Amino acid sequence: MRMQKRKEKDHPGTSILVHPPIVALLCIGIAYLLGRLIPLPFAAPAILRYIGVVLTIVGFLLGIGAFIEFQKAQTTLDPHGSTSQLVTSGIYRFSRNPIYLGFLLIVIGLPLYFGLFWGIVMAPVFIFLMNHLVIQHEEMYLERKFKETYTDYRARVRRWL
């Protein structure tokens, strides 16, 4: 009997059914539906709508910054794929998850722009879902793959901000 070498998975192991942009869109959609089904008895002041625009733009820019760093490192953005390099430069010096932070700002900002406060309510839901369905798996994978390099990085840089 020939013994086969067990090939280890070189991916985070997150469910292929879980896509971070879809999680963000679902949270935004739920915030919008809650705003229509359970409207608050007061309108959002114009300044909050402007804050919503700013949060949405900053969230988008965080994603662009992260994309640029991944391109420079020539590694994948796919949360289900195999990464070839640990990205720690650029925006990754301040947050281990700037793309997810960007999504969070959009989850809050977009509903605010439409005068809905429900994005603020959905923010902790988004954080919980991302931490448990995606980030936890990614962090275990990165620690397994990059060992001390990743644990040193994790000790220096916060998960969200």
What is the model's pLDDT at position 17?
Answer: 72
Half-sphere exposure of 29 (CA within 13 A, CB side): 6
Q: What is the largest CA-CA distance in the chain?
A: 74
What is the model's pLDDT at position 81?
Answer: 87
- Size of the chain, expressed as the number of residues it contains: 161
Q: Report d(CA 25, CA 18) in Å as an integer.
A: 12
Task: Give the end-to-end CA distance of the chain in Å, rounded to a whole number.
Answer: 53
pTM of structure: 0.91
Q: Tokens standing for 152? A: 């040193």
Q: Report d(CA 8, CA 139) in Å as an integer.
A: 16
User: ∠105-108-13 over CA atoms, to 5°?
Assistant: 60
What is the model's pLDDT at position 7?
Answer: 45
Per-residue pLDDT of the chain (161 residues; tens, 9 = 90+): 444 444 457 777 767 678 999 999 999 999 999 999 998 888 789 999 999 999 999 999 999 999 999 999 999 988 888 999 999 999 999 999 999 999 999 999 999 999 999 999 999 999 999 999 999 999 999 999 999 999 999 999 999 99
Q: Tokens standing for 46? A: 């114009």
What is the model's pLDDT at position 8?
Answer: 52
What is the model's pLDDT at position 144?
Answer: 95
Q: Report d(CA 106, CA 149) in Å as an integer.
A: 31
Phi, psi of 116 (to 5 degrees): -110, 130
What is the model's pLDDT at position 6?
Answer: 42
What is the model's pLDDT at position 41?
Answer: 82
What is the model's pLDDT at position 134?
Answer: 93
Q: Report d(CA 99, CA 78) in Å as an integer.
A: 12
